[in-house]
Structure 1
């Protein structure tokens, strides 16, 4: 019997949820995804010091205000780490737009163009990059424009069916529902101590989204993310993609038990009618979901906090150099 990780890889595209080059080198996933939190961890490692130095030097050469140079440095750092990752994987890497732009459509579009140009500058074809954008109304509208321009997007911080339906209707290439953070909210607010994998609220949310997309023939890829345990991953086996931390990749690789397929486009069925949401409908649907409203806001705040911390580290490093 092969490991559960090997079995999963036969039915789902496995994505590494890390910016750690060594972890990616070890696991050799098809794709990889990063975010400000993962970049912050990576930048603290000695192995990334040369890349950090290159990013700061490049930013200083661009000129501008102190804040503009910090933005240049963090964007360049994200792209250089993405370039290294792409040297190890056959697929794509996701690179995130500054979360402080989550409610500004035009600024998100502009930053996405900048990231794509930075990748082109280091010899990376844009087809190997997904631009990660928070699943706000403004972010979804930005993705709609970018997709029409040939820039593929990964809509992240997705916690509700409303968000998912709007992303699919906008033609987003990929959505990343956050399984574990949904579970976190329900554990904190339900009075329960645990949920079995087959009743895990995050698992049920992704299953509903997957079946809806397949039922209505949306091409948007569903990539479950933010897992808390291997049981959640097993319940979503067969999902288009799953982005998994190195620790859980290790757990799955050590488990030799059988893994049944849970999701399949051939057996997908949804009772949800096809939705075409305008802005009031989207905002009302999100408002009616307390979990999604709270976790979306919390996620943006957390990514922003890590982005600011990363900028502070870059500033201190530049001053000490």
Structure 2
């Protein structure tokens, strides 16, 4: 048995890729996409039909240039999602435009539009996770969407305050970014005597895991963004992990048993008497974590740039 097969016995595996080639190879339960991953695949010849179908869709819908760009980029997300869903049994995570990360109403409208577009392709909302940045506005958008029966994946999650607010809003799933947390501490020379058990990203996920299980929150924890195999193996037993093809390959080439490190049964459940976070409390607690503030801002800006790059490519062809 290789390590990937062993890991799958304790944790559901999602692939961090939009490339069908890797999805076929590693047989994940779920798949996650984002603007950066979409940019990586739209140049592939096998996706050319998806690209041109999106352009036809946008021209058919009409409207001004901004409307066409929006419709074309949304259609690309949906088309890729549809293709991936043919290969996996679980969920596809489709990301909302990062430029809407601070607008609850527009995030909800964009999510409803994507769900409608999936429905037009015969895909039920039960198989879609709408990805939103875990800003206060994004969390509130997810809260609204969850009440409408639309499951959400709250991404770019770095602070404990973000995790608490997501659970209190009954968000379906969160994606703590293990590797990006590690990156910040490493960049700031704060990783003396490093070990996987002291890895700040791993520690952050374990803290969230213990809190959620202690108070019986139903929100799923899906560790994301890894920098080494030890981070992944240290989180064996986490609800889900979304892993890049690079690390899936390393796991598949490594033989041996993967020990489970996270357990629900040994966490004593308690009644939660904590008061629900208000907006001001959330912002105060989140902003006390400088790492989380910097990485959330950086992530939103990067995904926003990638979205703009996608639109520039579409603009040349509309």
Asked whether the two chains share a fold, i.e. TM above 0.5, the reply is: yes
Shift of 1:68: 1.5
Q: How does 1:142-221 map to 2 (within 5 A)?
A: 142-192=141-191, 195-221=194-220
Shift of 1:315: 1.4
In the alignment, what sits opposite 2:55? 56
In the alignment, what sits opposite 1:30? 29
Contact 2:133–2:300 (CA under 8 A) maintained in structure 1: yes
In the alignment, what sits opposite 2:20? 21
In the alignment, what sits opposite 1:67? 66
1:263 aligns with 2:262: yes
Q: Distance in 1 between matches of 2:43 and 2:205?
A: 33
Q: Aligned to 1:237, what secondary structure does the other structure show?
A: coil
Change (3 A) 1:190 1:109: same
Shift of 1:281: 0.2
Shift of 1:275: 5.4
Shift of 1:194: 7.4
Change (3 A) 1:292 1:64: same
In the alignment, what sits opposite 2:250? 251
In the alignment, what sits opposite 2:313? 313
Q: Distance in 2 between matches of 1:153 and 1:13?
A: 17
* Superposition RMSD in Å: 1.5
Contact 2:216–2:269 (CA under 8 A) maintained in structure 1: no
In the alignment, what sits opposite 1:78? 77
In the alignment, what sits opposite 1:304? 304
Shift of 1:30: 0.5
Q: Distance in 1 between matches of 2:317 and 2:22?
A: 25
Q: Aligned to 1:206, what secondary structure does the other structure show?
A: helix
Q: Distance in 2 between matches of 1:265 and 1:103?
A: 34
Structure 1, unmatched stretches of 5+, are: none
Change (3 A) 1:270 1:210: farther
Change (3 A) 1:177 1:58: same
Contact 1:55–1:73 (CA under 8 A) maintained in structure 2: yes
In the alignment, what sits opposite 2:118? 119
Q: Distance in 2 between matches of 1:312 and 1:273?
A: 50
Residue by residue over 1:189-238, the C-alpha shift from the partner in whole angstroms, topping out at 9 and shown as x without a partner, is 13547731111100000000011000000000000000111110000000
Residue by residue over 1:137-185, the C-alpha shift from the partner in whole angstroms, topping out at 9 and shown as x without a partner, is 0000000010011000000000010000000000000000000000000
In the alignment, what sits opposite 2:136? 137
Contact 1:208–1:270 (CA under 8 A) maintained in structure 2: no
Shift of 1:274: 4.1
Shift of 1:267: 2.0
Q: Distance in 2 between matches of 1:154 and 1:275?
A: 24
In the alignment, what sits opposite 2:291? 291
TM-score, length-normalised on structure 2?
0.97
- Aligned pair count reads 317
Change (3 A) 1:217 1:61: same
Q: Distance in 1 between matches of 2:170 and 2:62?
A: 36
In the alignment, what sits opposite 1:279? 279
Contact 1:180–1:225 (CA under 8 A) maintained in structure 2: yes
Q: Distance in 1 between matches of 2:190 and 2:219?
A: 35
Shift of 1:22: 0.9
TM-score, length-normalised on structure 1?
0.96
Q: Distance in 1 between matches of 2:44 and 2:268?
A: 46
Residue by residue over 1:32-66, the C-alpha shift from the partner in whole angstroms, topping out at 9 and shown as x without a partner, is 01000000111121111110000011011111221
Q: Aligned to 1:190, what secondary structure does the other structure show?
A: coil
